[in-house]
């Protein structure tokens, strides 16, 4: 006979309770809706390939070649030299001079973010994170036993950071400022004066800026310069990847570039030490990095044009819905509209009711750190225009009924 002890569920760590990633968490609810026979339109995940955009063939060829040429060994932990050199050359030609020895090739921007936060923030440390935020930052900080301090992005000012609020949040435990520009979930691009103010703020307070620039090539009017262009000697670490602008999110291939400031030398060493522990990121995919950054990027011209058309449709259709407002995005594939909720209702209730009634899946603003009663929600507008028209027909009809009935 077995003792009762051995039949008990294996306990999980407390940190899992603190870890939350709303963009995927809400999928469980959608799957239940799907099981009941309703078609679900997944507008929750920013994956252009899932909506029919194609990975450029020359990048696929580079990976195929690498596989056939036998590059199936472990690689150097910071990445293969050709990829690191291409990333360094790309930043340098965009005005942020970086050397290859300060570039790390990572499993997407995501791993870069996790490596750097692990390298610079102790338990109890604080990091300034935008609100709304991309939820990986808060999730990783929770895992590390550190704290996210939210600074407001202001929907009444094109979702720009509220500098006064930022100033109020700094304490002796503050370690870094996260700047996501172009932004997910708002689609905003920050003007040069705002970027200068953020740089000045971080410099004054001795903070490193974690510049999430994964949408840098997806400004509707063309690529957006890296933040480091404005001050190559500032303490900046930039992150990006092949996921968005190079249409290969499943490859999990990205990079970080650590600025030349000697104040960051210890961070380079710390990241290297942590990167050694995970051996390397996937090697064959790294062979696509130089191909992406030095080869043909003409796919981006059509991609930006398609995104702008989808954004225009999204904004005009949302603004036509009674009770809904929307700041127009200027980059990427996200919009963050707001529905004026009746007192006592939450954004999550609205999003779930929308899902159950129509099969349209969006993510509630509180999943990005916003107060639930404010009624924000995020739409990924990568679907084809006809599909989006159908989605907005459903959403408009549902929202009018929802606001009437509650």
The nearer residue to ligand PLP, 75 or 187, going by C-beta atoms, is 187
DSSP character at residue 233: T
Kindly give, in sequence order, each residue whose CB lies less than 8 Å from that of residue 392, ignoring residues fewer than 6 positions away: 313, 314, 317, 318, 321
Question: Closest distance between ligand PLP and the C-beta of residue 216, in Å?
Answer: 11
Query: Which string of x and - marks every residue 84-113 that binds ligand PLP (by CB under 6 A)?
Result: ------------------------xxx---
Query: Does the footprint of ligand PLP cover residue 254 (CB under 6 A)?
Result: yes
Between 317 and 365, CB nearer to ligand PLP: 365
Interface with ligand PLP includes 184 (CB under 6 A)? Answer: yes
Is 249 a binder of ligand PLP (CB under 6 A)? yes
117-176: which residues touch ligand PLP (CB under 6 A)?
134
- Which of 243, 286, 330, 358 binds ligand PLP (CB under 6 A)? It is 243
Phi/psi for 161 (5° steps) reads -60, 145
Instruction: Provide, rounded to whole angstroms, the least separation between the CB of residue 70 and ligand PLP.
Output: 27
Crossing angle for the helix pair 347-358 and 27-35, nearest 10 degrees?
Answer: 30
Using alpha carbons only, how large is the chain's radius of gyration in Å? 22
**Least distance to ligand PLP from the beta carbon of 237, Å?**
13
What is the C-alpha to C-alpha distance for residues 94 and 266, in angstroms, rounded to an integer?
25
The site string for ligand PLP over 11-50 (x = CB under 6 A, - otherwise) reads -----------------------------------x----
Distance CA 219, CA 187 (A): 9
At closest approach, how far in Å is the CB of 44 from ligand PLP?
11
Q: Terminus-to-terminus CA distance in the chain, angstroms?
A: 57
- C-alpha–C-alpha distance, residues 52 and 383, integer Å: 8
> Considering only CA atoms, which of 266, 235, 236, 274 is closest in space to residue 107?
274
From the CB of 98, what's the least distance to ligand PLP, in Å?
A: 18
Render the burial of 197-230: b for 16+ CB within 10 Å, e for the rest.
bbbebbeeeebbbbbbbbbbbbbbeebbebbbbb
Region binding ligand PLP by CB under 6 A among candidate stretches 96-104, 154-162, 241-249, 377-385: 241-249
286 binds ligand PLP (CB under 6 A): no
Smallest separation (angstroms) from ligand PLP to the CB of 139: 12
Which residue intervals of 159-282 are DSSP H helices? Answer: 163-169, 192-205, 265-277
Nearest CB to ligand PLP, comparing residues 132 and 259: 132
Please list every residue from 45 through 74 that binds ligand PLP, using CB under 6 A.
46
CA–CA distance, 301 with 222 (Å, rounded to integer): 8
Q: Which residue is nearest to ligand PLP (CB)?
A: 108
CB 322 within 8 Å of CB 400:
yes
For ligand PLP, give the closer residue by CB, 138 or 243: 243
Which of 362, 355, 369 has its CA nearest to residue 383? Answer: 362
The token pair at 263 is 């104040």
Residues in the interface with ligand PLP (CB under 6 A) total 13
- Secondary structure element (H or E) that encloses residue 97, with its range: none
**CA 65, CA 131: separation in Å to the nearest integer?**
43
Query: What is the closest distance, in whole angstroms, from the C-beta atom of residue 133 to ligand PLP in the complex?
Result: 9
Residue 109 C-beta: closest distance to ligand PLP, Å: 3
Q: Which two tokens stand for residue 253?
A: 């291939």
Q: How far is the CB of 69 from ligand PLP (least distance, A)?
A: 25
By beta-carbon proximity to ligand PLP, the closer residue of 252 and 260 is 252
Q: Which of residues 357-376 bind ligand PLP (CB under 6 A)?
A: none
Q: Which of 90, 114, 181, 212 binds ligand PLP (CB under 6 A)?
A: 212
Give CA 17 to chain center in angstroms: 22
Residue placing its CB nearer to ligand PLP in the complex, 137 or 398: 137
The single residue among 59, 140, 214, 245 that binds ligand PLP, judged by CB under 6 A, is 214
The C-alpha atoms of residue 85 and residue 291 are separated, in whole angstroms, by 12
Q: Is 330 in the site for ligand PLP (CB under 6 A)?
A: no
Q: Select 83 or 403, whichever has its Cβ closest to ligand PLP.
A: 83
Q: What is the distance, to the nearest Å, from the Cα of residue 53 to the centroid of all Cα atoms in its chain?
A: 19
* Per-residue tokens: 14: 């407390």
Which residues contribute to the site for ligand PLP (CB under 6 A)?
46, 108-110, 134, 180, 184, 212, 214, 241, 243, 249, 254
């Amino acid at each position: 006979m077995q003792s009762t002890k051995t039949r008990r569920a294996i306990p999980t760590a407390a940190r899992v309770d603190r870890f939350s990633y709303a963009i995927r968490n809400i999928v469980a609810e959608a799957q239940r809706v799907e099981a009941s026979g309703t078609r679900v339109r997944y507008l929750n995940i920013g994956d252009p390939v899932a909506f029919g955009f194609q990975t450029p063939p020359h990048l696929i060829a580079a990976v195929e070649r690498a596989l056939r040429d036998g590059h199936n060994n472990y690689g150097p932990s910071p990445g293969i030299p050709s990829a690191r050199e291409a990333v360094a050359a790309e930043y340098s030609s965009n005005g942020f001079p970086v050397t290859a020895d300060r570039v790390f090739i990572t499993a997407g921007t995501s791993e870069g973010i996790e490596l750097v936060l692990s390298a610079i923030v102790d338990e109890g440390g604080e990091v300034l994170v935008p609100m709304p935020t991309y939820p990986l930052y808060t999730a990783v900080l929770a895992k590390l036993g550190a704290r996210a301090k939210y600074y407001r992005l202001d929907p009444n000012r094109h979702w720009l950071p509220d500098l006064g609020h930022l100033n109020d949040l700094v304490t002796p435990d503050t370690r870094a400022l996260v700047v996501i520009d172009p932004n997910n979930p708002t689609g905003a691009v920050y003007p040069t004066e705002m970027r200068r103010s953020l740089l000045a703020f971080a410099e004054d307070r001795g903070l490193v800026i974690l510049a999430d620039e994964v949408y840098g090539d997806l400004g509707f009017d063309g690529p957006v310069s890296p933040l480091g262009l404005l001050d190559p000697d500032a303490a900046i670490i930039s992150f990006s990847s092949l996921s968005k602008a190079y249409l290969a999110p499943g490859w999990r291939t990205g990079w970080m570039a650590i600025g030349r400031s000697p104040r960051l030398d210890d961070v380079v060493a710390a990241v290297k030490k942590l990167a050694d522990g995970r051996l390397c990121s996937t090697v064959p995919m790294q062979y696509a990095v130089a191909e992406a950054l030095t080869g043909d990027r003409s796919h981006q011209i059509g991609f930006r044009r398609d995104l702008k058309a989808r954004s225009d449709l999204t904004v005009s259709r949302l603004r036509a819905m009674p009770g809904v407002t929307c700041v127009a995005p200027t980059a990427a594939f996200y919009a963050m509209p707001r529905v004026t909720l009746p007192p006592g209702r939450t954004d999550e209730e609205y999003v779930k009711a929308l899902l159950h009634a129509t099969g349209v899946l969006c993510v509630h603003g509180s999943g990005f750190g916003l107060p639930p009663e404010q009624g924000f929600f995020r739409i990924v507008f990568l679907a084809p225009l006809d599909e989006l028209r159908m989605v907005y027909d459903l959403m408009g009809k549902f929202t009018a009924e929802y606001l009437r009935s509650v």
